[in-house]
Amino acid sequence: MTEVLRRGRASLAFSFFTQGAAFALLVTRIPAIQDRYGVSDAWLPAFLAAVPVLAGVGSVTTEQLVKRIPASRLLRWSQPVVLLALVGVGSGDQLVELGIALAVFGLCVGVLDASMNMLGVSLQRTYGRSIMLSFHAAFSLGGIVGASLAWAGAHWHLALWVSYLPVVAVLLPAVLVGSRWYVDGAAGGGGEEAPGKQGESGRVVFRMLLPLCLVMAFAYIGDSTVSNWGAKYLKDVLGSSEQLSTVPYNVYMVTTLVGRAIGDFGVRRLGAAVVVRVGAVVAAVGFAVVAVAPGPWVGMGGFTLVGLGLCVLVPQTFAAAGRLFPGASDAAIARLNVFNYVGFLVGSPLVGALGDTWSYRGAMLVPMVLVLVTLVYARSFVAQPDVYGGGHERPHTADVGRGSNGL
């Protein structure tokens, strides 16, 4: 049984890593994609917005699919399609081909993100201690690798398909092999439930889930602010060089990786609510430093704090949904995951509009305030089994289920 869990955890971590790499390869080569297909600046936002909108549709669809199809099987087949869609983005030459590839990418990313986190929450329940941050750390590591490969492709002026195809050729068979060891726990129906908790009936009450949805959206508004506006802010507002302006996102990703790699230990010792509160305060301080920074190096210090603070919010929000609705965590996670994409859709245009009409320094205060609002909802992260280990270890009684290779 222990070996089954170890292999399930490792294979799921590799799935997170692969998704991080694929996503980074797409978003960091947007200028090259625009040039390849001749997408005008006026049409580019529509193409980019379509991806999170369709991903939201995919996540909602997953809530229904998982009632009949195990999450492991959904993940097993959605991830290869995402990788193939990435190659499709780099291989076409007509706008309609780009539209089809991005549509397939978006829909399947929604299924993939939802099913990955469903499996992560169920594995955490089975382990009886916090491990959710480690999966998202693997995603951050994949993002760093993918962004580095994208930089190499841009540096050597490689065609998009030349950049994408070798990566997909390595990752696709690896995830197919690894998918044999995914573990379906009892997250979707039954399993280990805390007496007296909401969600025992197997039904999600959206009013109870709403605080976590808001935290998810606020976290991704902050994340999209860094990823979409960090370089421009450093160059245009703080006067950095073109080369230095590329550093904040890399620093942000590295600090996100570090924070997630050690975050599970903090949850086990202090509890999820304390870790979320500390993360929100640190991220807010980071945005405040960015807003008042006199120069680029202080600004990068602010972005570093933002990464360290924000990195714990999303994994713990998924984990909290699983605890809040132990009898219906798959459905809760699928709905919660939609607000991931809401944050992306709202964050970048909001900061851009405020920057253009007011000031970019002032615009940085918006994600700061929204992240601080998370403190109001920190109570939603408190549960009876909130602290794992150190005398609070949960009994390992959850049904491990079966690996997807046995489905």
**Rounded CA separation 197/182 (Å):** 28
**Rounded CA separation 92/286 (Å):** 41
315, 117 contact by CB (below 8 A): no
pLDDT tens per residue across all 407 residues of the chain: 588 999 999 999 999 999 999 998 998 788 888 889 998 877 877 887 889 999 999 999 999 999 999 999 999 999 999 999 999 999 998 999 999 999 999 999 999 999 999 999 999 999 988 999 999 999 999 989 988 888 888 888 889 999 999 999 999 999 999 999 999 875 333 333 333 344 444 688 888 999 999 999 999 999 988 887 887 888 888 988 766 766 777 788 889 999 999 999 999 999 999 999 999 999 999 999 999 999 999 999 999 999 999 999 999 999 999 999 888 899 999 999 999 999 988 988 888 888 888 899 999 999 999 999 999 999 889 854 434 444 333 444 333 333 333 33
403 phi and psi angles, rounded to 5 deg: -65, 155
pLDDT digits (tens, 9 = 90+) for 31-85: 888 889 998 877 877 887 889 999 999 999 999 999 999 999 999 999 999 999 9
State the pTM of this model.
0.85
Q: Report all structural domains of the chain as residue ranges with CATH numbers, in order of start.
A: 1-185 (1.20.1250.20), 189-388 (1.20.1250.20)
386, 271 contact by CB (below 8 A): yes
**Rounded CA separation 201/358 (Å):** 49
Paired strand residues for 403: 183
